[in-house]
Each structure stands twice: as structure tokens, then as C-alpha cells.
């Protein structure tokens, strides 16, 4: 495939600006290939982040023509407009430099949502046997494949309006644990996600579910948390 792409790339911090590059176009080219070409051939000072290149590590997410995406699995052909690409850092997160955002507040919110397993067994116990057909297992399985890419968080208007909001990824993680029969931390977890900045702040806009590259549905997880938190409140567990 001949021709060239006109690529505008964010340079600098929050007060930075777009800078134009021209990149040769080829078949099966991904957006991450384009960014890597710029960094290797045109401007070695360009900062960006990636690791696996196969959609597993979640580190390569950027805003491409206005939409947050995992760049290693996004083909240029799918997103290019008039041979032009605009590539910037993820929204809703502080920009460190160029295409690199500071993910600390994103993962701090996983901790605030009590996103770690509180085991009921010790290492001396036998493995837990959780039947694949059980309801809890199926609900947990449906939400568990999150790679922590931040695409949903960057898509969420409520995070933009209220930076304290826990956001779709942390709440989705909390929901997997609410359904994990090995876990004993649900009372504290549901209390943590029921506050003003938790699940009840979600306006069900669905952007997270539309954009998640792993086809997860954080909106459904958050709806489950709303029901579970309301039930816990009715039972006087908070
Ligand atoms: S459904 Fe909720 S969490 Fe998802 S993008 Fe919309 S407001 Fe944010
Ligand atoms: S829920 Fe989806 S979009 Fe959000 S961090 Fe996990 S994999 Fe990424
Ligand atoms: S580089 Fe790992 S998901 Fe894209």
C-alpha cells in the first residue's frame, strides 16, 4: 500500500501542542506501528508506552482521532480519516509527557474500591472448587478479563465532571470480587463503592461498554453493584 499518513501527535505536558509528521503507509499497519515509526525514525524524544503489542498488557492506550483505543490492536485502516491521524494521550488522566499519562489515580481507585481478594482460605487449605456453571462464577467470569488499559476511564463523562468518581474499571473489578465465593471482603467493599463517588454516580452513558477493547460491560457490573449495595444498605450492613 503506497502513500503517506499525515499524523499529528501531542507533544509536551497538559499545555503542549500537536506536532505534524508524515509516515509511510503500509498494509496491516497499526496505530502503535505509526507511533513507533515516528519515535524510531523521525523524533527519538517522543515519549509513549507499550509492552506486549498483542493486546494483553493494557499499556498502549491513547486517544486516536478523538477516541480512546488500544493502539497495538487498532489498525490504521479502521480509524484513519482523509489519510490523517491525530494521536494524543488518554483523557481524564494527568499527562506526564507526550503520549504518556500518569496512571496512579486510576489504580489508586482500584484500591479505594477494595479491588483485592480477601481470601477465606489459607495456603494450607485445598484449592477452592467453584463450579463453572454457578451464577457467581459466571458473573465473575464475564467481567474478569480486564487488562487495566484505562480506555473506559478515559471515555467516561462522569470522571470528567467528578475526578473523585471511582470510574468503570475499578467498579468492574469490585464486581468480579463481589461474585467471587472465595472472598470475604464484601461488606467493606460494598461500603467503599456505595459512596457519592461510587457506583450510584454512574449515569449509564455506556461509553465504557462501547469502547472497552476486551468487550467487557462495566455498565452492567456497575448496575450489579448498585443492586448489591442497595440490598446491603437495606439489611443494615453499613
Ligand atoms: S456507564 Fe457509567 S461508568 Fe460507564 S462511561 Fe457511562 S457513566 Fe461512566
Ligand atoms: S474494563 Fe475494558 S476498557 Fe476498562 S480498563 Fe478494563 S479492559 Fe480496559
Ligand atoms: S502493547 Fe500491550 S495491550 Fe497494547
At 69-118, the pLDDT tens digits run 999 999 999 999 999 999 999 999 999 999 999 999 999 999 999 999 99
Q: Which residue is listed with cell 489519510?
A: 83
Ligand nearest to the CA of 150: 2
Determine phi and psi for 63, rounding to 5 degrees: -95, 120
Atom of ligand 2 nearest to the CA of 151: 3
Name the residue of 52, 70, 109, 146 whose CB sits within 8 Å of the most ligand 2 atoms, as the mutation to test its pocket: 146
- Ligand 2 contact, 171 CB (< 6 A): no
Cα gap 172→6, rounded to integer Å: 37
| pLDDT of 197 | 97
Distance, CA of 99 to CA of 38 (rounded, Å): 12
Specify the pLDDT at position 238. Answer: 85
Please give the model's pTM, rounded to 2 decimal places: 0.96
The pLDDT of residue 1 is 62
User: Residue 200 Cα, ligand 1 centroid: separation in angstroms?
Assistant: 11
Q: Which residues sit with their C-beta closer than 6 Å to ligand 3?
A: 50-53, 55-60, 70, 72
**Looking at the predicted structure, is the pLDDT value of residue 205 above 90?**
no
What is the rounded distance in angstroms from the CA atom of residue 38 to the CA atom of residue 85?
A: 13
**95 ligand 1 Cβ < 6 A:** no
Q: Which ligand 3 atom is at minimum distance from the Cα of 52?
A: 2
Residues 136-156, mean pLDDT to the nearest whole number: 97
Element (H, E) at 9: strand 4-11
Ligand 2: residue whose CA is nearest its atom 8 = 149
Average pLDDT over residues 44-70: 98
**Nearest residue to 166 via CA among 217, 124, 225:** 225
* Local confidence band at 7 (pLDDT 50, 70, 90 cut-offs): very high
Percentage of residues in the chain having pLDDT higher than 70: 99
Q: Across all residues in the chain, what is the average pLDDT?
A: 97
Nearest Cα residue to atom 7 of ligand 2: 146
73 close to ligand 2 (CB < 6 Angstrom): no
What is the Cα–Cα distance from 144 to 169, expressed in whole angstroms?
A: 11
Amino acid at each position: 500500500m503506497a502513500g503517506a499518513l499525515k499524523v499529528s501527535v501531542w507533544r509536551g505536558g497538559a499545555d503542549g501542542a500537536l506536532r505534524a509528521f508524515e509516515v509511510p503507509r503500509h498494509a496491516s499497519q497499526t496505530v502503535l506501528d505509526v507511533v513507533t515509526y515516528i519515535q524510531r525514525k523521525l523524533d527519538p524524544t517522543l515519549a509513549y508506552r507499550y509492552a506486549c503489542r498483542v493486546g494483553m498488557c493494557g499499556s498502549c492506550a491513547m486517544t486516536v482521532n478523538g477516541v480512546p483505543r488500544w493502539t497495538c490492536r487498532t489498525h490504521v485502516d479502521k480509524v484513519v480519516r482523509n489519510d490523517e491521524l491525530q494521536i494524543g494521550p488518554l483523557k481524564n488522566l494527568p499527562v506526564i509527557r507526550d503520549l504518556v499519562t500518569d496512571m496512579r489515580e486510576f489504580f489508586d481507585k482500584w484500591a479505594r474500591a477494595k479491588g483485592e481478594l480477601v481470601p477465606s482460605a489459607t495456603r494450607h487449605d485445598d484449592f477452592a472448587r467453584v463450579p463453572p456453571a454457578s451464577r457467581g462464577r459466571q458473573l465473575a467470569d464475564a467481567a474478569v478479563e480486564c487488562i487495566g488499559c484505562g480506555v473506559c476511564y478515559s471515555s467516561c463523562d462522569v470522571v470528567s465532571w467528578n475526578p473523585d468518581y471511582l470510574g468503570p474499571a475499578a467498579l468492574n473489578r469490585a464486581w468480579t470480587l463481589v461474585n467471587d465465593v472465595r472472598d470475604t471482603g464484601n461488606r467493606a467493599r460494598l461500603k467503599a463503592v456505595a459512596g457519592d463517588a461510587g457506583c450510584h454516580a454512574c449515569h449509564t452513558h455506556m461509553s465504557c461498554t462501547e469502547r472497552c477493547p476486551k468487550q467487557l460491560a462495566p455498565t452492567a457490573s456497575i448496575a450489579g453493584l448498585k443492586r448489591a449495595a442497595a440490598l446491603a444498605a437495606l439489611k443494615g450492613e453499613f
